[in-house]
Amino acid sequence: MQIENKVVIAGLHDKGKAAIIELQTTSYEKESGEALCMNRVCNFSGAPYTCGVRVASLNHHHHILTQAILRARFLLLEFLIVNLQPHMRIAHNSPRHALLYRLSGDYNPLHSDPMVANIAGFNRPILHGLCSFGFAVRAVIKSFCNGEPSSVKSVFGRFLLHVYPGETLITEMWINGSRVVYRTSVKERGRAVLTGYVVLREIPSSL
């Protein structure tokens, strides 16, 4: 199967000293044109990338309002359950993750070149955010889907902090209806780096 991705700027918001850029990527089966999935990413860009003027969203406001409601619901859900004992806890660690993840096609030198990382304000290269995200979602699939990715309906993630290659990622998970809420933390620094949830098509009866 050949897949074609189409990317559009779905929203642009000037925040004064920074800007939020919303990118929407829709993946299609090239031959049939069937839409397979849609990814939406909000990038927070620093001062060099501000718009200079107040810019309204380039996309329909309904989607923005819906996403804001979903985020608010998630924050409330997270607040209510993260102090409870997690249903599952998985750790993963590898100092080579950042270099291996480059095989996905993301060659940003921030993840491999110490000089570039230093210019960006880090003391050494950092792990790709989507790599950390992948480990969190994979932990959910391994723990609650018997290793079957097709059991996942949708995923949501909120990036909180950078991760250095070699740090131990601890992913804690809580079941809430058809959702598995997760929180990924760095063991060495005791800091949460990623939170979110995975919506499952069904919860295995064994759980």
Q: Are 38 and 24 spatial neighbours (Cβ–Cβ below 8 Å)?
A: yes
**Contact status, residue 171 vs residue 183, Cβ threshold 8 Å:** yes
Q: What amino acid occupies position 105?
A: G
- Reported as type and span, the H/E element at residue 95 is none
The verdict on 50 and 129 lying in the same domain is no
* pLDDT value, residue 123: 92
In a domain, 205, yes or no: no
pLDDT of residue 55: 46
Which two tokens mark 99? 């270099």
198 vs 70: CA distance, rounded Å: 13
Judge if 115 and 170 occupy the same domain: yes
pLDDT at 72: 62
Range of the domain at 19: 3-59
Question: Is 207 contained in some domain?
Answer: no
Classify residue 92: in a domain, yes or no. Answer: yes
pLDDT at 202: 80
Which residues carry out catalysis? 106, 111, 126, 129
Q: What are the residue ranges in the chain where pLDDT is below 70? A: 15, 17, 46-84, 204-207
184, 177 contact by CB (below 8 A): no
Kindly report, residue by residue over 71-81, the tens digit of the pLDDT. Answer: 666 666 666 56
pLDDT reported for residue 54: 45
Residue 78 sits in the same domain as residue 39? no
Q: What is the structure's pLDDT at 21?
A: 81
Q: Are residues 12 and 86 in the same domain?
A: no
Q: What is the CATH number of the domain that holds 180?
A: 3.10.129.10
The number of C-alpha atoms within 13 Å of 145 and in the hemisphere containing its C-beta is 22
- Domains held by the chain: number: 2
Residue 65 located in a structural domain: no
Same domain, 54 and 139: no
